[in-house]
Structure 1
Amino acid sequence: MKGRPTSFFYQSLRFRFGLLFNSLLFLCVSIIVYSLYTNAKTELDRSFSLQLSSAANAVLQKTDINPIAVPLPKNGEFFRITYDNEVKKTELINNLPQDVADKEKWRMVSLKKYPENGGSISVDFALSAENYHSGVRKLRQLLYIYLPIAFLVSFLGGYLLSGFFLRPLRRIIHNASKVDLEHITLLSQPKTRDEFYHLTDALNRMLMRIDEQVKQQAAFFTTASHELRTPISTMLTELQIFNRELLDADTRNLLDNQEQEVKRMKALVDNFLWMSQIESGNLRTNRSEIDLAEMVLEISEGFAKQMAVNGQRFRIEFSPVDGDFTVSADKNQVEVIVKNLISNAVKYTKGDPVIDIKVFQDKKKGIMISNFVSRDIEDPEKLKGQFLRDTFHKDGFGLGLWISDILSGKNKAKLSLNSVNQKFSATVEFDGR
């Protein structure tokens, strides 16, 4: 039986919705932040250009030729004033740095005016661009910081919101996982007629169809089992009372084989009847005082003929010899458990023909049946599943251990299976009296 597939958090709808919400929000935030960055950078550039033009214009207005008036540079101001009378260019002042052409360090603007006495006065004004570039870098850094924060916040917001919106779906899954096919109960429908309401409605309609089919199947198995039990019991009785002493060996062998096949068919019908009762939920437990020792002796006698044919024998032990092996349980159901376990031991014993049956009274009372098999069985507890058989043992129908396990639980007992060193054991322990 395959285990449940591993589920990772990134495979959940909650993660996918969170990622979708995050992607959309992150895209919107990115556009907004980039737009803010572009506008801020443009505003910084415009402000710096305005400052540069204003300072250059102030220097130009203070400059005159007749008489010569030249303003002195203030701290952080760098400019060059040139007078051109169309005959000669004269630099009146020049404190421009040598690397003024480096646009990463400097910004420069050129202005010109024409005085009344002719010629032209031009001013080349430069300011350091370090503050401007520093401001742009800070804006860019903020952009790099805010975007990851926006991504994280949007993802967490989307993850939390998707968890809130998917809460009804988780509730539906939780309720659906608790549905028992023996007692099908419909899921409670959400009050809001949204998609979750329609999903719950569809699941409820499916559960009603399943419930109807289960009931029809249980009714069929019950009816068919009852109908088959009478003719099979009649056939078995006629075969058992047939006088074999007057027959030759081949005919006796043929009748013995037919008797075993009829017994096998009867066991199958009985198993189907038990299965229909279990799955329909109609199984009732009528408790009474049962002596496990007497029951084991009676049931083992019923296998005497088959044991003789197979060359097998029982080794029955009572521990302690004078123990009280009385338990409170349903006699018919406990008989089915013990018969199934002994039948399996007789059917699958290989090598050593001895089948050990131990009735014990320790902290708990119970029965242990053990026998040697052809090979060790991996994870023998799986054999308690419905219609499950060991790979190397194809006999049987895969119902006996499943029925025994269910009936054990109904009688406050526990069925344990074990396989060590090619010895298979089945133990039934009862809780108290």
Structure 2
Amino acid sequence: MMTAIRPARSIRFKMGLVFGATFFLGFTGAAGYLFKRVRAVLVEQDNRTLAERAGRLSDRTSVYPLVIPLPDRGEVMALWLISGNARKRLYQSPRFPADSSLLTSAAVVEADTFRLARSVRHADDGYGTLITLVGHSSRPLHRELRSMGLLLLLTLLASILVSGLSAWWLSGWLLRPLRAIITSAQSVSRAEHTTPIPIPNSGDELQELAETINQMLTRIGQAVDTQHAFFAAASHELRTPLSILRTEIEVTLREAITDRERGFLHSQLTELRRLSRLVDDLLAMSQLRAGTLRLRPERIALDDLTLHLAERYQRTLNERHLFLAISFDETADHLTAWADLDKLTNVLLNLLDNAVKYATPGTRLDLSLTQQADQLSWTLSNQTTAPIPDPDKLSREFYQADPHHDGYGLGLWISHQVTRLMEGTLHVSGAEGRFRTEIRLPSSEGMPA
């Protein structure tokens, strides 16, 4: 069974993820470093501007006589005269931060929503120190830094998107030969043949992989051909002696023999029929595998064929105390199918065999035949106490739902394949102790006479 690859586990996704993660980490580191450098430059430039402004205002300030230059619009300023332990405030703007530690702080500080620069010089008379504090709002600088950070973030996201799409396209381009190999290998599996897959002329590991797969397919094809030839030859060789033995036993049973001898012969006849059925199945399997099974489609009155098979199984049904209820679609114009009579008979016999074999004794088998558009539906259901396996497994060759029952696990597989060749479908299902099989075949309406 082919395992479906999840997109999150594909090589293409992993390559894109690794490439995207590498690019993300690299670009994030570079963007972070760039942001720090630009921020340092902007802050340093703003500090220098404030310091120069504070120096100019300090130079224009006079204590005796008192001359105080006014700050520009948007600026705040404070003037302090310190003489010994005495400290006198000469001027302070209305919105200036009320923090006395600013007098002894660094050259440029942030207080509240302002950035302040401090200028210190001696007073005009030589007694005391004049401290000038000038500042402006820190919001423009922060706004500019936020804008730059947002721009870098958007650039990062756009770059990740572009790099992700580029990585996805690049990985797809690199893996295109591998995808071609997978597609070809899947078509080989579906077609059940061993046609070599195309070999890319790339000179790399993909070419080596394709060549290795073709060598493996060649060996598999040889083994399969040998197996088919053996099954076909063995089946043909066994059919004749088995037919002779069965005929001789049937003739002997008509003669006057003891009951004990008759019992032995009946037992041998049962085993011969079972072996003949196995030989027929092996021959059909080899023909299906080799594609040599030929069909001769014709008009088949499916209702008459169903009644004939039911009459044929009546003795077996009585022995197992089973009752077969048959219903036909009375509204159908006709119940005539377009199929191969011999092959369809074998398919229906196989389905009846399985139903009788696994049905609970004393229960009823329901068989219905209806017309649905341009198809006929032949449905058989039975009650059973046996475990109902997965319907998908029942269509596999050599699969046995219950190894304690007779059979080799070929019947349903052959029925599936033959029904498909007749352009029909075979569905099996089971639930709550009831098993159901349905065959849909094309109606003979519109077919050549």
Interval containing the TM-score (normalised by the shorter chain): 0.7 to 0.9
How far off its partner does 1:277 sit?
1.0
Amino acid at match of 2:42: L
Aligned residues between the structures: 423
How far off its partner does 1:278 sit?
0.7
- Gaps in structure 2 of 5+ consecutive residues: 103-108
Matched, 1:154 2:160: yes
| Cα distance, 1:74–1:176 mapped onto 2, change above 3 Å | same
Is the contact between residue 320 and residue 361 of structure 2 (CA under 8 Å) also seen in structure 1? Answer: no
Amino acid at match of 1:126: L
Aligned pairs for 1:81-160 within 5 A: 82=81, 93-95=90-92, 97=96, 98-99=98-99, 101=101, 103-105=109-111, 106-112=115-121, 119=126, 122-128=129-135, 130-131=137-138, 134-136=140-142, 138-140=144-146, 142-143=148-149, 146-147=152-153, 150-151=156-157, 153-155=159-161, 157-160=163-166
- Gaps in structure 1 of 5+ consecutive residues: none
Aligned pairs for 1:19-418 within 5 A: 19-62=17-60, 70=67, 72-75=69-72, 76=75, 78-80=77-79, 82=81, 93-95=90-92, 97=96, 98-99=98-99, 101=101, 103-105=109-111, 106-112=115-121, 119=126, 122-128=129-135, 130-131=137-138, 134-136=140-142, 138-140=144-146, 142-143=148-149, 146-147=152-153, 150-151=156-157, 153-155=159-161, 157-167=163-173, 168=176, 169-179=178-188, 180-243=190-253, 246-287=256-297, 329-352=339-362, 368=378, 370=380, 372-375=382-385, 382=392, 383-391=394-402, 394-417=405-428
Counterpart Cα distance in 1 of 2:126 and 2:135:
30
Is the contact between residue 337 and residue 441 of structure 2 (CA under 8 Å) also seen in structure 1? Answer: no
TM-score, normalising length: structure 2: 0.74
Is the contact between residue 229 and residue 266 of structure 1 (CA under 8 Å) also seen in structure 2? Answer: yes
Is the contact between residue 376 and residue 419 of structure 1 (CA under 8 Å) also seen in structure 2? Answer: no
How far off its partner does 1:257 sit?
1.6
Is the contact between residue 374 and residue 443 of structure 2 (CA under 8 Å) also seen in structure 1? Answer: yes
Amino acid at match of 1:162: W
Is the contact between residue 289 and residue 328 of structure 1 (CA under 8 Å) also seen in structure 2? Answer: yes
Please report the RMSD computed on the Cα atoms of aligned residues, expressed in angstroms: 4.5
| Cα distance, 1:364–1:347 mapped onto 2, change above 3 Å | farther
TM-score, normalising length: structure 1: 0.76
Identity %: 25
Is the contact between residue 367 and residue 381 of structure 2 (CA under 8 Å) also seen in structure 1? Answer: no
Counterpart Cα distance in 1 of 2:85 and 2:384:
120
Counterpart Cα distance in 1 of 2:91 and 2:259:
137
Q: Which moved more, 1:101-110 or 1:307-316?
A: 307-316
Is the contact between residue 22 and residue 151 of structure 1 (CA under 8 Å) also seen in structure 2? Answer: no
| Cα distance, 1:112–1:358 mapped onto 2, change above 3 Å | closer
Q: Which moved more, 1:394-403 or 1:151-160?
A: 151-160
How far off its partner does 1:275 sit?
0.7
**2:443 alignment counterpart:** 431
